[in-house]
Amino acid sequence: MKQAVMKNKVNGVSKIPMNSIPKDWNWKYLHELGSFSKGKGILKEQVIESGLPCIRYGEIYTTHDFILKNFKSFIDESVAAESREIKNGDILFAGSGETLEEIGKAVAYVGNVKAFAGGDVIILSTNKNVNTEWLSYALETDIVRRQKRRLGQGQSVVHIYPSDLATLKIPCPPEQEQESISNFLDLLDIEISRINSLISMKEKQKVGLMQQLLSSKKKWKEYRLGSLGETYNGLTGKSKEDFGEGKPFIPYLNIFFNTRIDTTNFDFVRITPLDKQNRVQFGDILFTVSSETQNEVGMASVLLAEIEELYLNSFCFGFRLHDFKTLNPAFSSYFFRGSEFRKEVYKLSQGATRYNLSKTQLMKLKILLPSIEEQKQISKVMQTADKEIQLLKTRTERLREKKKGLMQILLTGKKRLK
């Protein structure tokens, strides 16, 4: 079976083999499907909370997925006058990115609200016989993404240009089939969006539940935090070359983003000498101590897995309980993220451009705790809420994978919708 071949004459990219497509489909260069223009202006400091909607190039790969439905940024009329207006049917590309995966990421604008595109956004105004949503999906198939990766120029920041994108070769079905494919994939998007909305609702309910359950009650007993255990430091004397192999350790960001540490939250680092480093144990409470914002300082995570050898990052410190008779590890994973404790930590964070937390001051904090039995009951309720959210997230991920697989076969004609 013969393979269609495209050669990029602009950048001298070597021949890229194309999979065969149905007889009633055509290979078309992207410039045949519309005309290119570029966004203008819109600096980060010009973005406001309300006004005329706009999109900046970074939002294409961080915020939106295939279809631009809701704007996250806004500008005033004076900035809009210097920017580029986008219209229904435009495909918007990220002209820059930090990785080859981000470069040339595209979203379709199918709305009718007057909106604008900032600099480093490449705009393709599609022809009338092109289904814009179908094209946004087609641009993210493996066969097109491989072409985009080869066209990305740069090192730390990767760039792609309209002249590059114009040479992308797209497998194009008849117009009616374009619509059928986009409608089918839209149904999956709608279901994914529905589940994500449900996740958002469940997470808000969880926050309310935490506030209710972790609010101090009259029968709760007061303790000085430092009286319940001892602190220890994270790794010392590490350089960038030490990371990537060796012993497992818990990175700073894993503590920040996770209420608990299990067997999947690790990275690796070379550690010598071992006798000067502190190992993390089950039930240890891990705190971040330095960050650019007060909200990120003193975030806590708890190790809730039995692991023989594990270490802690240097921008954190550990707190090891004397025993679990006063404070239950599962309960502490919620307690130290609760609003009441976070308010006290917020008061202790000090700094201007960077904020830090003193271990000594943190250990002086007085906290109110329920009985161990009540702690266990609270933990069970919160764990049930977590499981519900995780099940929904797993369902969303499976749908995304299913959609990704269907895109590869529907958008290349390997399978066709009746």
Residue 9 pLDDT greater than 50, yes or no = no
Task: Express each pLDDT in 97-112 by its tens digit.
Answer: 877 777 888 999 999 9
pLDDT-derived band at 11 (thresholds 50, 70, 90) equals very low
pLDDT-derived band at 2 (thresholds 50, 70, 90) equals very low
Distance CA 289, CA 296 (A): 9
How much of the chain is helix, strand and coil, in % rounded to 5?
Answer: 40, 25, 35
Whether residue 100 contacts residue 158, with contact meaning beta carbons closer than 8 Å, is answered with yes
Task: Express each pLDDT in 118-170 by its tens digit.
Answer: 989 999 999 999 999 999 999 999 889 888 888 876 666 788 899 999 999 99
Mean pLDDT calculated for residue range 358-373: 94
208 or 15, greater pLDDT:
208
- Own/partner long-range contacts of 52-55 (Cβ < 8 Å, ≥24 apart): 52/76, 52/77, 52/80, 52/114, 52/115, 52/116, 53/113, 53/114, 53/115, 53/116, 54/80, 54/83, 54/115, 54/116, 54/117, 54/118, 55/86, 55/92, 55/115, 55/116, 55/117, 55/118, 55/121
Prediction pTM value = 0.77
Compute φ and ψ for 261, nearest 5 degrees: -105, 125
Mean pLDDT calculated for residue range 160-183: 93
Distance CA 31, CA 362 (A): 61
Residue 179 pLDDT greater than 50, yes or no = yes
Cα-to-chain-centroid distance, residue 197: 16
Q: 314: helix, coil or strand?
A: coil
Percent above pLDDT 90 for the chain: 59
Pairing relationship of beta strands 355-356 and 290-291 according to DSSP bridges: antiparallel
Distance CA 39, CA 24 (A): 35
Mean pLDDT calculated for residue range 34-63: 91
What does the mean pLDDT of the chain come to?
87
Distance CA 314, CA 303 (A): 17
- If phi > 0 it is left, if psi is from -120 to 50 it is alpha, else beta; for residue 15 that is beta
**Winning range, highest mean pLDDT, from 149-158, 271-280, 377-386:** 377-386
Distance CA 131, CA 150 (A): 26
Pairing relationship of beta strands 311-312 and 243-250 according to DSSP bridges: parallel
For residue 405, what are the contacts with CB-CB under 8 A and spacing of at least 6?
A: none
Pairing relationship of beta strands 52-55 and 115-117 according to DSSP bridges: parallel
Mean pLDDT calculated for residue range 203-226: 92
DSSP 22: -
Burial environment of residue 66 by CB neighbours within 10 A (0 to 12, 13 to 18, 19 or more)? buried
- Residue 3 has what pLDDT? 34
Peptide bond into 273 cis (omega under 30): yes
pLDDT-derived band at 117 (thresholds 50, 70, 90) equals very high
Task: Express each pLDDT in 89-100 by its tens digit.
Answer: 999 998 888 777
- Residue 79 has what pLDDT? 93
- Residue 279 has what pLDDT? 87
Distance CA 131, CA 175 (A): 7
Q: Which of 372, 374, 375, 345 is nearest to 361 (CA)?
A: 345
244 or 289, greater pLDDT:
289
C-alpha distances in angstroms, 169 versus 102, 142, 216?
19, 12, 63
Distance CA 83, CA 80 (A): 5
Whether residue 263 contacts residue 293, with contact meaning beta carbons closer than 8 Å, is answered with no
61 or 195, greater pLDDT:
195
Distance CA 364, CA 222 (A): 12
Domains annotated on the chain, with CATH: 4-173 (3.90.220.20), 174-213+373-412 (1.10.287.1120), 221-369 (3.90.220.20)
pLDDT-derived band at 317 (thresholds 50, 70, 90) equals very high
Residue 274 pLDDT greater than 50, yes or no = yes
C-alpha distances in angstroms, 8 versus 25, 28, 115, 304, 326?
21, 13, 33, 53, 68
C-alpha distances in angstroms, 310 versus 102, 166, 173, 269?
33, 51, 54, 10
Q: Which of 92, 88, 87 is nearest to 66 (CA)?
A: 92
- Residue 247 has what pLDDT? 84
Mean pLDDT calculated for residue range 298-309: 89
For the chain, the distance separating the N- and C-terminal CA atoms, rounded to the nearest angstrom, is 25
- Residue 86 has what pLDDT? 95
User: Which range is least confidently modeled, 83-97, 173-187, 239-253, 373-387?
Assistant: 239-253
